[in-house]
Copies of this chain bind each other. A is one copy, B any other.
Amino acid sequence: MKAIYGGIYRDLRDKVVSGDFPFQSLLPSEANLVREYGCSHNTLRKALGLLTDQGYVHPIQGKGVRVIYQPQDKALFSLGGIETFKETAERNHLKATTVVETFERIHADERVSAKTGFAKGTRLWHVERVRLLDGKALILDRNYFSIDLVPDLTEEDVARSAYEYIEGTLGMRIATSKRTVTVERTTKEDERLLDADDFDFLAVVSGQTFNGDGLMFEYTQSRHRPDYFTFHTTAIRGR
């Protein structure tokens, strides 16, 4: 991103994270920041809007912009944004392996359509993968990819990283995603595929992913052993 507001956003964010602007303190005023960065009012406000959305600061009319970021916000195993399995593993210095259990073409029937949101009859790749961290089978990933949008997916691609293929080779940008977190009882198949130990419940993250054209290209369900699971998010009331 070479946009001006993006640069200002990153600069301010770094100063917040580094403690340059401490927790609960006020940022310099918009007017001062405009002078400092030599940009327009609107551009600076766009950067501040990003900082607000990401949970770093909170603006108070007539008063200032308060820092609400704390160092402990750095999560060990965050899933709030859109992060791939590989990215997560690398960030936590864990050795990640993937085993492909299922890789097949299907057509969305009534049941699949209702679950995934794909129209009935859509041609889909159905993929099931077990994710191992340091040798332990902790996550079961079920995916449905639109064949129209992700035509030449191979078993090798999904074994490495489906997103790497989609974003890299295919050049498709991944954009918005919607996710739902629930807690579900371990099924027979979970027990068969995962090192469930005595965990009889799993954290389940499911949802849809949209590409740069706003078209839904993936439904995903990710079943996690509870002891390795955390989900982060920040919300803003109103807006």
Q: Are A203 and B183 interface neighbours, CB within 8 A? A: yes
A66 to chain B: closest residue by CB = B214
Q: Which of B52, B200, B215 contacts A200 (CB 8 A)?
A: B200
Q: Pick out which of these stretches binds chain B: A54-62, A124-132, A152-160.
A: A54-62
Q: Are A214 and B177 in contact (CB under 8 A)?
A: no
A66 / chain B contacts, CB cutoff of 8 Å: 213-215
Interface assignment of A184: CB less than 8 Å from any CB of chain B: yes
List chain B residues, Cβ under 8 A from A53.
53, 239
In the complex, which residue of chain B has the Cβ closest to the Cβ of A212? B60
List of B residues within 8 angstroms of A52 by Cβ: 176
Residues of A211-236 contacting chain B, CB below 8 A: 212-216, 226, 229-236
A148-188 CB contact bits vs B (8 Å, 1 = yes)? 00000000000000000000000001111111111111000
- Asked if A112 is at the interface of the complex by the 8 Å CB criterion, the answer is no
Interface flag for A31 (CB, 8 Å): no
A-side residues, CB < 8 A to B, are 1, 24, 42, 50, 52-53, 55, 57-60, 63, 65-68, 70, 72-73, 75, 80-82, 117, 173-185, 199-203, 210, 212-216, 226, 229-239
21 A-B contacts, Cβ less than 8 Å apart? Answer: A42-B42, A59-B214, A65-B214, A68-B216, A70-B117, A73-B178, A80-B233, A80-B235, A81-B235, A81-B237, A173-B237, A175-B237, A176-B234, A178-B233, A178-B234, A179-B232, A181-B203, A182-B203, A183-B202, A201-B226, A203-B203
Q: A66-B214, A68-B210, A75-B180 are in contact. List 9 more A-B contacts (CB 8 A).
A: A55-B178, A59-B214, A60-B212, A68-B216, A73-B178, A175-B237, A176-B234, A179-B234, A231-B231
